[in-house]
Amino acid sequence: MKSVEFRREREEAWRELERLLDRVDSSGLTALEPEQLMRLPVLYRAVLSSLSVARAISLDQNALDYLESLAGRAYFAIYAAKRPPGRTAVDFLLRRFPRAVRAFHRHVVLAALLMAIGVVTGRGLTLADPDHFYALVDEEMAGGRSPAASTDDLREVLYSKKDAVGALSVFATFLFTHNARVGILCAALGFAAAVPTLLLLFYNGVTLGAFSALYETRGLGLELWAWILPHGVTELLAIVLCAAAGLAMGESVLFPGRHARLANLALQGRRAGELVVGSVLLFLVAGLIEGLFRQLVHDILVRWALAAATAVFWAVYFRSAGREET
């Protein structure tokens, strides 16, 4: 029988590949000798061709299943291979992340705009009637900062000296993990047609606006922003990027465009994922600034200078990083 002869001729190569794959499965690709590593793709292609032939000439179900599973395993080993993590990280920071941000610039602008509208709304409402503050800001989040608080108390928050440097970094870590999680959530919720993302983003802006109005009525407006912006530039940017990722995902759910909805989501989702990974890094930076710098530096000019410096840095980075090759 043809199929029997065929198997006799090829079986040696199948077994060889199987042994290599067993080795890869138990101790990773790096466990292979260089010449074995060279053999892997050769054998993989040989088994793929065996599989094609076997499908055409053989009815031995076990042999077919075996080849299918062998080819599948080899496929995993070969196509899941990745580059060294260090180089991937550098490549991500210098090219992929800023490129992803540029690719989604419409969503980023929209997200920023929405947040700004939130700020204006929250500010307007609170200025019109300070009692609105209670409706707009969650009590827990306000932490005692409310229209009922005295001006001195409000000022106190801006210049508080938490005692030890140690406690500050705990605080910084908490802020980082908390904010990064909210950011991830904000992006992931984009899947639900972006509605929750929009709500979260808008509400975030409203809260900010309400605080701003509260401090403005006490003549502390500029000082509040000097308190927020040194880390806020980075943090708000990260929120906006996460939200942009969510919006992009929501957009591809609602308006798939030229591709099929599923294909489009997969395409956008991966790039949106890059935005979120980058944002986690931004949150880390923001957490560091917030937890360390802000509590230690009380000079309003230095605070403004840092805010401006971060803004310029991110603007330059996102505009120009990774551009030279495109």
Partner 1 sequence: MRTLAEPRREIVTPEGVPLRFILAGPFERLAAFLIDAVIIVTAAVMIALALAFGLAFVAVNAFAILLMLAWFFLRNFYFTWFECRWQGATPAKRLLGLRVIDRAGGSLSADAVFARNLMREVEVFLPLVVFLVPDAVWPSAPGWARPLAAAWLGILALLPLFNRDHLRPGDIVGGTLVVRAPRVVLLEDLTEAVAAAPSGPRFSFTQEQLDLYGIYELQVLEDLLRRNTPLATLSEVARRIQKKIGWLAAPNEDAERFLRAFYAAQRARLEQRMLLGERRERKRAGSASTRRP
284-323 residues near partner 1, rule: CB under 8 A: none
Instruction: Output DSSP code: residue 62.
Output: H
Q: Of 119-127, 210-218, 266-274, 297-305, which part binds partner 1 (CB under 8 A)?
A: 266-274
Supply the minimum distance, in Å, between the C-beta of residue 322 and partner 1.
Answer: 15
Of 102-121, which residues contact partner 1 (CB under 8 A)? none
Q: Kindly report the backbone phi and psi dihedral angles of residue 161, in degrees, each rounded to the nearest multiple of 5, phi listed first.
A: -110, 95
**What x-and-dash track marks residues 232-251 binding partner 1 by CB under 8 A?**
-----------------x--
Query: Could you give the CA distance from residue 98 to residue 322 in angstroms, rounded to a whole number?
Result: 7
Among 20, 40, 70, 220, binds partner 1 (CB under 8 A): 70
Q: What is the C-alpha to C-alpha distance for residues 227 and 248, in angstroms, rounded to an integer?
A: 31
Binding status of residue 3 toward partner 1 by CB under 8 A: yes
Residue 77 binding partner 1, by CB under 8 A: yes
Cα–Cα distance, 131 to 103 (Å, whole number): 42
Helix-then-strand count for the chain, H and E: 15, 0
Q: Which of residues 162-221 bind partner 1 (CB under 8 A)?
A: 164, 166-167, 169-170, 173-174, 176-177, 180-181, 184-185, 187-189, 191-192
CB atoms within 10 A of CB 287: 25
Compute the least distance from the CB of residue 221 to partner 1, in Å: 27
CA nearest neighbour of 1 among 64, 42, 48, 60: 60
Using CB under 8 A as the binding rule, whether residue 36 contacts partner 1 is answered as no
Q: What letter represents residue 214's amino acid? A: L
Q: Report the residue number, 94 or 311, with the smaller CB distance to partner 1.
A: 94
The verdict on 326 binding partner 1 (CB under 8 A) reads: no
Stretch that binds partner 1, among 72-80, 111-119, 217-225, 316-324 (CB under 8 A): 72-80
Q: Does 51 bind partner 1 (CB under 8 A)?
A: yes
Identify which of 42, 46, 50 has the alpha carbon closest to the alpha carbon of residue 67: 50
Which residue type sits at 120? V
Binding part of the chain for partner 1, among 119-127, 154-162, 265-273, 307-315 by CB under 8 A, reads 265-273
* 30 binding partner 1? (CB under 8 A): no
| Residues 209/122, Cβ–Cβ less than 8 Å | yes
Under rule CB under 8 A, residue 270 binds partner 1: yes
- For partner 1, the closer of residues 152 and 255 by Cβ is 255
Of 122, 117, 143, 120, which Cα lies nearest the Cα of 132? 122
Q: Does residue number 260 form part of the binding site for partner 1 (CB under 8 A)?
A: no
Phi, psi of 171 (to 5 degrees): -60, -45
For partner 1, give the closer residue by CB, 225 or 283. 283
Number of amino acids touching partner 1 (CB under 8 A): 74
194/298 Cα distance (integer angstroms): 39
Q: Which two tokens stand for residue 302?
A: 């230095």
Residue 89 or 315: the one with the smaller Cβ distance to partner 1 is 89
Could you say whether residue 31 binds partner 1 (CB under 8 A)? no
What the block records as the tokens of 99 is 């490129």
Dist CA 303 CA 310 (whole Å):
11
Chain mean position to CA 298: 32
Q: Which is nearer to partner 1, 196 or 221 (CB)?
A: 196
Instruction: Verify binding: residue 56, partner 1, rule CB under 8 A.
Output: yes
